[in-house]
Amino acid sequence: MGRNRVLAAVATAALVLGTPGAAFAADDDGPSVHYALSDLEGDTGVLLVAAAAPRGVASVHADVKGQDGAVLASSDGFALREGTAESGVWASTAPFTLPALGYYPVEVTVTDTAGGTATGEGALSYVVRAFYDGLRLRPAAVTYEQRSVTVSGVLKGARPGGRVERLAGAEIEVAGRWDAAYVTTDADGRFSGTVPISFENERVTVNYNFQNPDHLNAFATVGNVRIKPRATRVTAKLSAKRVDAGESVTVSGVASWRTPSGWEPVAAGTVGIDGYGSVPVDATGAYSLTVTPSASATLHVQYAIDDDPFVARSSRDVAVTVIQPAG
């Protein structure tokens, strides 16, 4: 049983019973009960009992009660699911059968091989375990023109005892990092929701949560979306390839990007030269930057639209020779 599920179940038991843990009655060498909770990752009609005993656990007995304290169902059929007889988790070999969905108090008695006993209290979450089937994320990558993804699937519920049904009329949250869409499942439990993507590798999730007290929530990560940015290019021309020391040189050119219609000038973004600053491009994509190199160098010209993952960066190198005065 996953740790998060255990913690959630302990919290549920606390809300239902008004006590967050087991009530123990054991000596130092006798058995102890750590929790008694539903199998929230499988059949919720199955009770999981975590217990320890230095001499080994010999048997487990559980009574499921109504809110008035009357025993509704009992079982002595438990098998070790994980761990050892000295410290492990026992599961009821058959799910409990109760008259209605809900949360029921449980009293557990554990007996060790020497006849020592311990009692503990817990809760059986006799509810529907919601889950998703056939989750799909399309497309797997977004582009400058297509910035949204669609998640589709079916919401199903497993009732105590194992019967699976489709959950109709349930609200599903389809969410990215900043945006979310809320959609309702149809009569067959199917849903489809679309959300915009703003970041590279943005995580997309689906969540069905806290709508029916007899349903467990269902949360899933559908995937991380890649961004295929629009390609760009920048030209660079020197006003002079050779200058005397102390003289300036102007680098000019045009930034373009690849649109559905072909390569076109881009009227946004900046062009910079490492070590010499940057300038914005004009409405025609043109730029001009004057620098004074102290020595011969290769100038690294870069174009970018900052903070826009949908536009790729591009660069161009140009070499300038600086003639130093004779020594």
Q: Which CATH number characterizes residue 260's domain? A: 2.60.40.10
Of the candidate ranges 16-30, 85-99, 244-258, 296-310, the one whose mean pLDDT is the lowest: 16-30
Alpha helices in 86-240 (DSSP H): none
91 plus 52 within the same structural domain? yes
Residue 211: its pLDDT value, please?
85
Q: How many CA atoms lie within 13 A of 310 on its CB side?
A: 13
pLDDT of 9 reads 45
> What are phi and psi for residue 10, nearest 5 degrees?
-60, -40
Report percent pLDDT > 90 for the chain.
89
Same domain, 120 and 137: no
Task: Measure the CA–CA gap between 32 and 107, rounded to whole angstroms.
Answer: 13
In percent, the amount of the chain with pLDDT more than 70 equals 91
What is the domain count for the chain?
A: 3
Q: Give the pLDDT of residue 65.
A: 97
Q: Which domain holds residue 169?
A: 128-228
Q: Point out the domain boundary residue: 93, 126, 159.
A: 126
Split at pLDDT 50, 70, 90, the class of 28 is low
114 — phi, psi (to 5°)? -100, 0
Distance CA 2, CA 35 (A): 14
14-36 mean pLDDT: 59
Q: 120 and 31 share a domain?
A: yes
Q: Does residue 180 sit in the same domain as residue 292?
A: no
Amino acid in the structure at residue 68: D
Share the mean pLDDT of the chain.
92
Last residue of a domain, one of 204, 228, 252: 228
Q: Are residues 280 and 296 in the same domain?
A: yes
- The residues with which 192 forms a beta bridge, in sequence order, are 152
pLDDT tens, residue by residue, 38-67: 999 999 999 999 999 999 999 999 999 998
Task: Answer with the one of 98, 126, 154 that is the final residue of a domain.
Answer: 126
Quick one: 267 and 282 in the same domain? Answer: yes
Q: In terms of domains, do 201 and 283 share one?
A: no
Per-residue exposure over 7-27, b if at least 16 CB sit within 10 Å of its own CB, e if not: ebbbebbeebbeeeebeeebe
Per-residue pLDDT band at 16 (split at 50, 70, 90) = very low
Residues contacting residue 215 through CB under 8 Å, at least 6 positions apart: 127, 128, 130, 157, 167, 208
Are 45 and 132 members of one domain? no
Residue 3: pLDDT band (50, 70, 90) is very low
The pTM assigned to this predicted structure is 0.81
In a shared domain, residues 11 and 104:
yes
Q: What is the pLDDT of residue 21?
A: 36
Residues 6+ apart with CB under 8 A from 19: 13, 121
Task: Tell me the β-bridge partners of 59.
Answer: 111
- pLDDT digit string, tens, across residues 139-191: 999 999 999 999 999 999 999 999 999 999 999 999 999 999 999 999 999 99
Specify whether 199 is located in the same domain as 258.
no
Same domain, 217 and 120: no
Query: Same domain, yes or no, for 10 and 114?
Result: yes
Q: How far is CA 39 from the centre of its chain?
A: 23
Q: Report the C-alpha gap between 290 and 299 in whole angstroms.
A: 12
191 token code pair: 């849903």
